[in-house]
């Protein structure tokens, strides 16, 4: 199948997006909008007259979403923080281009998700959706069900590079770890990078040692101790400016 044959020539929009387009923005026949399929493709669409519940349009062209970084995907493993901090972390990480977020519980995490009926995950995914829309992402990053720290370690082999932001590390810098990424990046596959950030209480030394044994590279983010909600953002923003020289 040639790439262009994979795409339909018309599109129908319903639900909240329909209401926003037709009732709030009052767009209609002949107006052109940009639509994203949430899977990395954007479409330029010329709208038809709105119906009662839906609006359709014809696709003028499609192109890879500008809001994505195809050469790398970054997964944030976030130690479960207290209260509503996870919501801020999700919002900011999505703006900064995270591919997915996997919360985890660890020795010093105060907060835990108690059972699978918890509405939190649904709410977190909604926040990711809103942030993706706002920041013109081409995908909606997934927020996965929290793992245990042991399960995080079993994920290491799936990544080209797994970084542990470790408050007690004082030698290896993020820049140094990125040099390692540079070496791996000689392949033309997109790089998958995992970033592990601890909860408010940080990591137990045994957890840090277990990470090291599993092949995770621990890095310092500088002399100052950052809040858990700041640490992941520092890594994500530095990765955003990483370029192969």
Residues that bind ligand SAM (CB under 6 A): 165-167, 197-198, 200, 202-203, 220-222, 224-228, 231
The residue (of 43 and 159) whose beta carbon lies closer to ligand SAM is: 159
Cα separation, 231 vs 93, in Å, equals 11
Question: Would you say 103 and 80 are in contact if contact means Cβ atoms under 8 Å apart?
Answer: yes
Smallest distance from ligand SAM to CB 216, Å: 12
The residue (of 186 and 224) whose beta carbon lies closer to ligand SAM is: 224
The residue (of 98 and 231) whose beta carbon lies closer to ligand SAM is: 231
Alpha helix stretches (DSSP H) within the chain: 15-18, 85-95, 120-134, 149-153, 174-184, 205-213, 228-240
Smallest distance from ligand SAM to CB 34, Å: 37
Report which residue's Cβ sits closest to ligand SAM.
Answer: 198
Smallest distance from ligand SAM to CB 196, Å: 7
Smallest distance from ligand SAM to CB 134, Å: 25
| Helix, strand or coil, per DSSP, at residue 73 | strand
| Helix, strand or coil, per DSSP, at residue 155 | coil
- Beta strands at 55-64 and 10-13: parallel, antiparallel or unpaired: antiparallel
The residue (of 43 and 242) whose beta carbon lies closer to ligand SAM is: 242
């Amino acid at each position: 199948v040639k790439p262009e044959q994979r795409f339909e020539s018309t599109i129908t929009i319903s639900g909240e997006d329909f209401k926003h387009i037709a009732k709030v923005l009052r767009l209609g026949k002949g107006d052109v909008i940009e639509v994203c399929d949430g899977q990395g493709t954007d479409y330029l669409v010329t709208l038809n007259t709105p119906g009662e519940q839906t609006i359709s349009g014809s696709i003028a062209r499609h192109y890879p979403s500008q809001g994505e970084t195809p050469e790398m995907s970054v997964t944030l493993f976030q130690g479960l923080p207290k209260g509503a901090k996870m919501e801020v972390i999700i919002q900011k990480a999505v703006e900064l281009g995270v591919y997915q977020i996997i919360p985890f519980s660890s020795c010093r995490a105060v907060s835990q998700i108690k059972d699978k009926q918890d509405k939190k995950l649904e709410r977190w995914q909604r926040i990711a959706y809103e942030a993706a829309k706002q920041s013109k992402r081409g995908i909606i990053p997934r927020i996965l069900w929290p793992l245990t720290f042991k399960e995080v370690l079993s994920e290491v082999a799936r990544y080209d590079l797994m970084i542990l932001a470790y408050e007690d590390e004082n030698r290896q810098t993020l820049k140094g770890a990125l040099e390692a990424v540079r070496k791996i990046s000689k392949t033309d596959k997109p790089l998958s990078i995992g970033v592990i950030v601890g909860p408010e209480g940080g990591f137990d030394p045994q957890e840090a040692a277990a990470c090291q044994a599993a092949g995770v590279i621990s890095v310092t983010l500088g002399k100052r101790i950052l809040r858990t909600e700041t640490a992941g953002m520092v890594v994500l923003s530095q990765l955003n400016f990483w370029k192969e020289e």
